[in-house]
Amino acid sequence: MTNTLKKLTSILLLLFLAPIIIAIIQTPLMTETTTEKVTEKKKEEIPVVYAAQIETPPVTQTQTVAEILPPRKAFVYFTHWQEAFKPILAASGEKIEIYHQEKNITNFQEQITAQFAFHQVETEFLSLENPSETKNYNSVRPFVKDALSQSNYDIILDIHRDSAKAATTTLQVGEESYAKLMFVVGGEHENYKWNLQLANKLTEELNTLVPGIARKVTVKVGDGVDGVYNQDLNKNSALIELGGIDSTEVELNRSIAILAKAISNILNEQVVS
């Protein structure tokens, strides 16, 4: 009886352990190689993002606002296009005058275009078959008005040369000199404050870039002045006095570069804000 009980107990124990033994035999050991394969499989399941999949790359610290945004557009003209500079005429052996039919302020169109383009501002100039037709604000007005009706511009510039002498129109910074700039606003039209606001902003920006390069904004009203300067045609119009009769070509080129930077900063600040 005792032997029979022992045999029965052994059989039951074997039946209980059999599934466990079979599972151990069929399941491979978790070796180092197996672990690597599992890890590789998990890696394959994780999606990989390549640089080419990013449609818009992040902006780096070296990129400026002007480089990110589309180019701004400036319309430029010269009401008093014959205005000349004494040192430039002297350098070419010309008679020293303050007005010249060929060597005058319009000769700086190429420099203006290049500097503005460098700061992502496209420039278009008023093109006239016969410039002698435009000698004052009234005669140039219909041409400017027509140009503005055909395209949209972010800023309109009427560039002049001041009649003041070097003591007023020259800035010395270390070994470099600049032609000072000044904005003139006509206060005799209904919306002149828009023009004044732009002139003040540009003056402030210019003096931030090169302290003292911009003179105080002048608002003109009353007898003996135009009082409008065609600035009523667009709120973003500005009349600029670029240097004076004694300004040199180098001084003028330096100031045009600073003007381009200031205009770009102001225009793109308006877009961002």
Instruction: Note the pLDDT of residue 146.
Output: 97
The pLDDT tens digits of the residues spanning 66-105 come to 566 678 999 999 999 999 999 999 999 989 999 999 999 9
pLDDT band, very low/low/confident/very high, at 132 (cuts 50, 70, 90): confident
Q: Please indicate whether residue 115 or residue 21 has the higher confidence score (pLDDT).
A: 115
Instruction: Note the pLDDT of residue 51.
Output: 30
Mean pLDDT value across the chain:
83
pLDDT band, very low/low/confident/very high, at 54 (cuts 50, 70, 90): very low
Domain regions of the chain by residue span: 2-46, 65-272
Instruction: Note the pLDDT of residue 234.
Output: 97
CA distances from 77 to 91, 125, 155, 183, 272 (A): 25, 6, 12, 15, 28
What are the E-state strand segments in 37-103?
A: 72-77
Contacts of 31 (CB under 8 A, 6+ apart): none
pLDDT band, very low/low/confident/very high, at 58 (cuts 50, 70, 90): very low
pTM equals 0.75
Structure tokens at 13: 């124990």
| Residues 73, 117: Cα–Cα separation, whole Å | 10
pLDDT band, very low/low/confident/very high, at 50 (cuts 50, 70, 90): very low
Q: At what angle do helices 109-118 and 249-272 cross, to 10 degrees?
A: 40
What are the E-state strand segments in 180-229?
A: 181-186, 218-220
Structure tokens at 33: 């190689």
Q: Please indicate whether residue 131 or residue 258 has the higher confidence score (pLDDT).
A: 258
Average pLDDT on 213-241 reads 97
The pLDDT tens digits of the residues spanning 142-196 come to 999 999 999 999 999 999 999 999 999 999 999 999 999 999 999 999 999 999 9
Instruction: Note the pLDDT of residue 19.
Output: 56
pLDDT at 53 over 90: no
Instruction: Note the pLDDT of residue 17.
Output: 58
Instruction: Note the pLDDT of residue 6.
Output: 56
Instruction: Note the pLDDT of residue 133.
Output: 82
pLDDT band, very low/low/confident/very high, at 61 (cuts 50, 70, 90): very low
| Residues 178, 164: Cα–Cα separation, whole Å | 15
Q: Pairing state of beta strands 155-160 and 72-77?
A: parallel
pLDDT at 29 over 90: no
CATH number for region 65-272: 3.40.630.40
Instruction: Note the pLDDT of residue 260.
Output: 98
What are the E-state strand segments in the chain?
A: 72-77, 121-125, 155-160, 170-173, 176-179, 181-186, 218-220, 237-242
Average pLDDT on 224-233 reads 97
pLDDT band, very low/low/confident/very high, at 10 (cuts 50, 70, 90): low
Q: Which residue's structure tokens are 């395209």? A: 151
Sign of the alpha-carbon dihedral angle for 257, 147, 240, 243: positive
